[in-house]
Amino acid sequence: MANLKLSHIYKVYDNGHKAVNDFSIDIKDQEFIVFVGPSGCGKSTTLRMVAGLETITAGDLFIGDTLVNDMEPKDRDIAMVFQSYALYPHMTVYENMAFGLRNRKMPEEEIKERVMKAAKMLDIEEYLDRQPKAMSGGQRQRVALGRALVRNPKVFLLDEPLSNLDAKLRSQMRSEITQLHKSLKTTFIYVTHDQVEAMTMGTRIVVMKLGYVQQIDTPMNLYNKPYNVFVAGFIGSPQMNFFDVTLKREGDNVIVKFADGDEVLVPYENVCKIHEDYLNGDKQVIFGIRPEHLNLSKENVGLKVVVNNIERLGKETIIYGKLGEKAEEFTLKDEGKNIIIKIDEDDNLEVGDVIHVLPNCEKVHFFDHESEITLMNKIPTVNTLHGRAVGDKMEVLNTTVDLPKVFKDALGGKEEFEINVPPHAIKEGDCFKLKVAKLERVDDENLAYLVNGDTYLFAIVGDDVKEGDEYNFDIVNEKVDVYHDGELILERIPEEEALFGTFSKTEVKEKGERVLHFFYNFNGYKVEALPENGYKINSIDGDNCYKNTYKYMIHKDNIRLSDHGLKGEVIKLLDYGMIKFAKVKVNDDEILIKVDNDFNEKEVYLEFDGKDISVYSTRIDMKIC
């Protein structure tokens, strides 16, 4: 039994192909994790890195609390089952299952006990004397499972184990593997390109595309709250319908307007997480609706659809149609106008019929047209507030509060402005009295819907906050972006700062032994790296590492002012009232550091520790350590 942690894992193959990018997940003991995505997206590569069959280019892999990056596969206490079964053809089933244990010199008696137990679990006791060639695909896959089972591994890795089986057997084996997982109470990681397998087996699913993780979530969250168009289209069958639309808020409703002029109404309440910028009717967005969330409308209201094809599957009927006023004019193009509708059994429809459909307004999805990311994030990324500067004060949320000097400087005499406030930058405090209209548990956080006129403001709040009550909140000014007329005039203070530098080593004799010390170099200022990180950089880039430039990221809290260290020139002070930052020019880089309220230096020396530095490659976009 084990939990696993994959932290910023990358795989770059020798030919330079970046197969896996920044893969991170905490897998709890006894989870059934599925990696799913189209062929070539990096699922097997990731699984093989966990197994130890492929080296990890960068990142850390922990099984339990042990870092196993460099541990031999046989020492990792995992077992892997392959699509190809990988059975020895000349051995019997018993010998195949016993083979690994015999290699480990386990006493024959214990081997027998384990093989018989596994054979019983998998219902292959009667085939133990057969050779694999005399068995069916399903039976062979059971033997492959049995060979993994006898090792009592901490973690089971399964790479498309069912893809060689026919549909009926696949669905049977699916449920057998799920039951096996339940009874073994072990961690499973399962790779498949089949979304049905993923949805039916996984406790959590990792959806991948082109080497990047798209979303890690429970099956129901992937279905109900897909993060982007890719996940929305990949999960669910038949596929979600997508249309280009614009959105316009009118009172309590939002009008969804299709390219050819068709309109449907959605209550604002259902889409209140969408940022107001998208609700003016002037921005193209992608509307997503699953076939099962479209209903036939009896009153001829809603979207007009011409029926092209009907599939009657017994309990349900799938209608393939064309959308819009001109749908009758047949063209093979016009992809966006195709629509799929899934309804309960219906005997009356015929090809050529004109029907009207309405979306289930609780199941609508909207995505940004360019990034294809959802506009209804579980936690919205920003709230936009309108502000007005009056002397040294500002009016925000119908309240007058101090105008931070840095805002005033950025505004340069302008009065009106907007601030983009992330939900994490609204804290319980003193200034703004707001009512909590609704609370929603999102992952491990409480998302509060705070009433702000006829829209909501989203904030992350503590467990003691109650729905319906009023509370005082503050805005954390250094965590907001300030805009004037759509132009960014003041950017939020980042948590981390980037400095570029080189990497070096020295070799010293300590107690008669040669010991290597590694350093990050910032134009004369040298910081010793943690030895393990030094070795990591060296193992990834080889001897080139001593010629390369690296990006060093340091959390602001770990940069100290000192009387020696890295010299910098103060070029600007940013006064947020309660807190002050200095913009410092260091070599060719500019960074922001936290300073005391009475700080007024022109020149500073900065110090930081090697253990607080994260290292990024500048050759390929990759975190090394």
Closest residue by Cα to residue 118 from 94, 136, 134: 94
Q: How far is the CB of 210 from ligand ADP (least distance, A)?
A: 8
CB contact at 8 A, 423 and 475 = no
CB nearer to ligand ADP: give 18 or 583: 18
Task: Round to whole Å and give the CA distance between 202 and 319.
Answer: 30
13 touches ligand ADP (CB under 6 A)? yes
Q: How far is the CB of 19 from ligand ADP (least distance, A)?
A: 3
Stretch that binds ligand ADP, among 43-51, 257-265, 311-319, 473-481 (CB under 6 A): 43-51
Q: Percent helix, strand and coil across the chain, each rounded to 5?
A: 25, 45, 35
Stretch that binds ligand ADP, among 42-50, 132-140, 501-509, 569-577 (CB under 6 A): 42-50
Which listed residue (2, 6, 19, 119) binds ligand ADP by CB under 6 A? 19
Q: How far is the CB of 49 from ligand ADP (least distance, A)?
A: 9
Which listed residue (1, 7, 40, 342) binds ligand ADP by CB under 6 A? 40
Task: Round to whole Å and give the CA distance between 533 and 613.
Answer: 10
Phi/psi at 345 (5° precision): -40, 135
What is the residue-wise DSSP string for 155-172? EEEEESTTTTS-HHHHHH
Q: How far is the CB of 35 from ligand ADP (least distance, A)?
A: 8
3-state class of 308 per DSSP? strand
Q: How far is the CB of 38 from ligand ADP (least distance, A)?
A: 7
What number of other Cβ atoms are within 10 A of residue 66's Cβ? 12
> Site size for ligand ADP, by CB under 6 A?
12
Which listed residue (27, 43, 98, 365) binds ligand ADP by CB under 6 A? 43
Q: How far is the CB of 285 from ligand ADP (least distance, A)?
A: 30
CB nearer to ligand ADP: give 143 or 198: 198
CB nearer to ligand ADP: give 6 or 307: 6
157 touches ligand ADP (CB under 6 A)? no
Indicate the burial class of 271 (C-beta count within 10 angstroms; 0-12, 13-18, 19 or more): buried
Which listed residue (9, 27, 32, 44) binds ligand ADP by CB under 6 A? 44
17 touches ligand ADP (CB under 6 A)? yes
3-state class of 534 per DSSP? helix
Eight-class DSSP state of 605: E
Strand-pair category, 550-555 with 496-510: antiparallel
Which listed residue (12, 41, 51, 306) binds ligand ADP by CB under 6 A? 41
15 touches ligand ADP (CB under 6 A)? yes
45 touches ligand ADP (CB under 6 A)? yes
Both structure tokens of 579: 């807190």
Q: Which of residues 20-39 bind ligand ADP (CB under 6 A)?
A: 37, 39
477 touches ligand ADP (CB under 6 A)? no
Sign of torsion over alpha carbons 192, 194, 197, 202: positive
Identity of the residue numbered 217? D
74 touches ligand ADP (CB under 6 A)? no
Phi/psi at 385 (5° precision): -115, 145
Q: How far is the CB of 46 from ligand ADP (least distance, A)?
A: 7
Indicate the burial class of 350 (C-beta count within 10 angstroms; 0-12, 13-18, 19 or more): exposed
What number of other Cβ atoms are within 10 A of residue 126's Cβ? 9
CB nearer to ligand ADP: give 35 or 519: 35
| Positions that interact with ligand ADP (CB under 6 A) | 13, 15, 17, 19, 37, 39-45
